[in-house]
Amino acid sequence: MAIKGVLFDFSGTLFRIESTESWLRAVLAEAGAALPEAEVVRAAERLEAAGALAGGVPPEDPLPADLAALWAVRDRSAEEHRAAYTALSLRVPLPDPGLHDALYDRHMTPAAWRPYPDTAEVLAALRGRGVAIGVVSNIGWDLRPVFREHGVDHYVDAYVLSYEHGVQKPDTRLFALACDALGVAPEDTLMVGDSRHADGGAADLGCAVHFVDHRPVAERPDGLRPVLGLIG
């Protein structure tokens, strides 16, 4: 089978969000809010445990029923995404309540994201081979500026984002929309992602699937390169 199109997940696959501590420090600096060092570190630890950083780790503790229900559908719309992550952030006391909205806003900025070291290399190589490239993401905001800021937008033929369609992975409808956007049949498409649950849904549509490890940028210098060996 010759692969004619490759779909990539965003967070943990092509890009990685900054650390929770970096995220918090950036917002505190922007707001001019000074906290003792020990309090900054402790607040960052609590925000991480709460799962408040989108693209970071999920909540460590079981969520109340109402928040658990919202968490399960957080990627269906911009409103649900903001509500879910802001509710998680609000579980951690901060000196100014407005910081919670600022934290959510920060994670949507290109500065909060870094491409993996081999992202541009692999996308360029696929483009050179004439392979169509799509990005399929469970997300509540427009990630296109992140790709533009980091100089890789021109490699992407189509973006299929859950909040724009009201459908989130692993629902096969989102992958079908992506294949249609590329003009490639599912059986000629490879899905690359870090979540066996969410991204693995592409297999139910007939796509081949390849998984990468969701690790910090410095710890995964060449995790995407094996994709090139899968293209016939």
Taking the model in full, what pTM does it have? Answer: 0.96
Give 69-88 pLDDT, tens digit per residue. 999 999 999 999 999 999 99
Q: How far, in Å, CA of 44 to CA of 46, rounded? A: 5
Task: Report the C-alpha dihedral over residues 127, 2, 214, 120, rounded to 10 degrees.
Answer: -10
Under DSSP, the state recorded for 35 is -
**Burial grade of 104 (CB within 10 A; 0-12, 13-18, 19 or more):** buried
Per-residue confidence (pLDDT) for residue 2, from 0 to 100? 87
- Tokens at 30, concatenated: 């922007």
Give 118-134 pLDDT, tens digit per residue. 999 999 999 999 999 99
Q: How far, in Å, CA of 193 to CA of 127, rounded? A: 19
- Tokens at 148, concatenated: 């533009």
Question: In this structure, are residues 54 and 85 in contact, taking their beta carbons and an 8 Å threshold?
Answer: yes
Q: Can you list the domains of the chain with their CATH numbers?
A: 5-16+113-229 (3.40.50.1000), 17-111 (no CATH)
Q: 61 falls in which pLDDT band (50, 70, 90)?
A: confident
Question: In this structure, are residues 140 and 35 in contact, taking their beta carbons and an 8 Å threshold?
Answer: no
For the chain, the average pLDDT equals: 97
Per-residue confidence (pLDDT) for residue 1, from 0 to 100? 60
Give 164-218 pLDDT, tens digit per residue. 999 999 999 999 999 999 999 999 999 999 999 999 999 999 999 999 999 999 9
Q: How far, in Å, CA of 157 to CA of 73, rounded? A: 27
